[in-house]
Amino acid sequence: MSDDSRSPLSVHTTLGLGGPARHLTTVTSVDEIVSGVRECVRDEQPLLLLGGGSNVVVADDGFPGTVLLIRSQGWDVKPDDAHVSVTVQAGHEWDEFVLAMTEQGFSGVECLSGIPGAVGATPIQNVGAYGQEVSETITAVTVYDRDEGGIRTFRNDECLFEYRHSRFKRAERWVVLDVTFRLRVDPLSGPIAYPELARRLGVGQGDRVPLAAARQAVLELRRGKGMVLDPDDPDTRSAGSFFTNPLVSGGYPPQAPSWPMPNGVVKVSAAWLIENAGFHKGYRRGLAAISSKHTLSLTNPAHGTTKDLLELGREIRDGVLDRFGITLHPEVVLVNCTL
């Protein structure tokens, strides 16, 4: 465990925003994570867990408690018929894991290439992109239960995965220690489901391609949208998509791209709603801006403040509500601040 309490949290978030924490500790093993959490519970300290800081908006005032930076590393592979079961430590960098799996011929996470952050955060909001979601390959999530004070494992069906949601999202109780994925031993990707990805690969929807080709095409598409971290590209100083695509059961504009979901609800494109409410790529408010490449991504290109970013977020949310009567909800986790 190491104590690094003097640095502001902006150093540990991809937005480059956030004031200091009262205590900031780096933990590098399950034992260190558990004893760090137990100390906070004992001292009744507010606790914030951070992986890569790529899905959080932290207040300019920082965090009035302890931040644990989760940096446990490594994974363990077990053969499982024509599959492998891979248990990965929560602090391992997600894309390093994805790269290794595609290189070793393990299929199932290749379309999730290039997503920033750590493995332990991927079940939290059921990370997804380009037609894949981690809920399709996760078989188990091992957590420390802050309420009961013990370790337990949730099977996939107990994780309550939904679109960008699970039982772990915004629930302080669970601390993810490791995640187990079941991947196919196969040099080919799963069926390519996402039309834009199929076009980029020059294949039909439902076709399969070599894992390296799928990864490469996803990375190219993501780079074009500023969705791969790049210190030279201010559009990537973001937390990814700021809002989720709203799930509506009533009216929505018929021209908006939409996708039917279970239980009769429809998922509507938040990017379309935002653009058609008058907020275009590159739109600025104060020092915050909509990415010049991706409408859903709110960025901090000019070293502004969380206040700037939240004001932009509020303006967009209120503009969409006024124009279409649909409320956008943040995908990002707001820490010590509100929209």
Ligand X SMILES: Cc1cc2nc3c(=O)[nH]c(=O)nc-3n(C[C@H](O)[C@H](O)[C@H](O)COP(=O)(O)OP(=O)(O)OC[C@H]3O[C@@H](n4cnc5c(N)ncnc54)[C@H](O)[C@@H]3O)c2cc1C
Number of residues that bind ligand X (CB under 6 A): 34
Tokens of 131: 């037609």
| Interface residue with ligand X, options 36, 108, 117, 304 (CB under 6 A) | 117
Q: What is the total residue count of the chain? A: 339
Annotated catalytic residue, options 54, 113, 166, 241: 241
- Minimum CB separation of residue 102 from ligand X in Å reads 16
Please name the residues in contact with 222: beta carbons below 8 A apart, sequence gap of 6 or more.
113, 114, 129, 228
When asked if residue 176 is in the footprint of ligand X (CB under 6 A), the reply is yes
Annotated catalytic residue, options 32, 133, 275, 331: 331
- Minimum CB separation of residue 254 from ligand X in Å reads 27
- By the 10 Å C-beta count (0-12 exposed, 13-18 middle, 19+ buried), 225 is classed as middle
83 vs 115, beta carbon nearer ligand X = 115
| Annotation marks residue 284 as catalytic | no
83 vs 123, beta carbon nearer ligand X = 123
**What x/- string results for residues 210 through 229 when contact with ligand X is judged by CB under 6 A?**
-----------------x-x
| Interface residue with ligand X, options 58, 111, 118, 310 (CB under 6 A) | 118
Is the CB of residue 291 less than 8 Å from the CB of residue 238? yes
- Cα dihedral value 122, 127, 130, 132, nearest 10: 80
When asked if residue 37 is in the footprint of ligand X (CB under 6 A), the reply is no
| Annotation marks residue 237 as catalytic | no
When asked if residue 128 is in the footprint of ligand X (CB under 6 A), the reply is yes
- Segment contacting ligand X by CB under 6 A, of 148-156, 235-243, 257-265, 316-324: 235-243
- Which ranges in the chain belong to alpha helices (H)? 30-43, 94-103, 195-201, 211-224, 270-276, 306-324
When asked if residue 90 is in the footprint of ligand X (CB under 6 A), the reply is yes
- Minimum CB separation of residue 337 from ligand X in Å reads 13
Query: Nearest CA to 306 among 327, 271, 281, 335?
Result: 335
CA distance 182 to 171: 25
54 vs 107, beta carbon nearer ligand X = 54
When asked if residue 56 is in the footprint of ligand X (CB under 6 A), the reply is yes
| Interface residue with ligand X, options 24, 37, 127, 320 (CB under 6 A) | 127
Strand partners of residue 152: 143
When asked if residue 268 is in the footprint of ligand X (CB under 6 A), the reply is no
| DSSP label at residue 225 | T
Is the CB of residue 278 less than 8 Å from the CB of residue 322? no
Query: 74's torsion region: left (phi>0), alpha (psi -120 to 50) or beta?
Result: left
When asked if residue 330 is in the footprint of ligand X (CB under 6 A), the reply is no
- Residue 302 Cα distances to 17, 222, 234, 287, 299, angstroms: 11, 22, 8, 6, 9
CB atoms within 10 A of CB 281: 17
| Annotation marks residue 238 as catalytic | no
Pairing mode, strands 238-241 and 297-299? antiparallel
- Minimum CB separation of residue 185 from ligand X in Å reads 25
- Minimum CB separation of residue 251 from ligand X in Å reads 28
- Minimum CB separation of residue 50 from ligand X in Å reads 4
Annotated catalytic residue, options 71, 164, 200, 285: 164
When asked if residue 240 is in the footprint of ligand X (CB under 6 A), the reply is yes
- By the 10 Å C-beta count (0-12 exposed, 13-18 middle, 19+ buried), 162 is classed as middle
When asked if residue 67 is in the footprint of ligand X (CB under 6 A), the reply is no
When asked if residue 131 is in the footprint of ligand X (CB under 6 A), the reply is no
- Minimum CB separation of residue 334 from ligand X in Å reads 9
Residues involved in catalysis: 164, 241, 331
Q: Give residues in contact with ligand X (CB under 6 A).
A: 14, 48-56, 70, 90, 115-118, 120-122, 124-125, 127-129, 174-176, 227, 229, 236, 238-240, 333
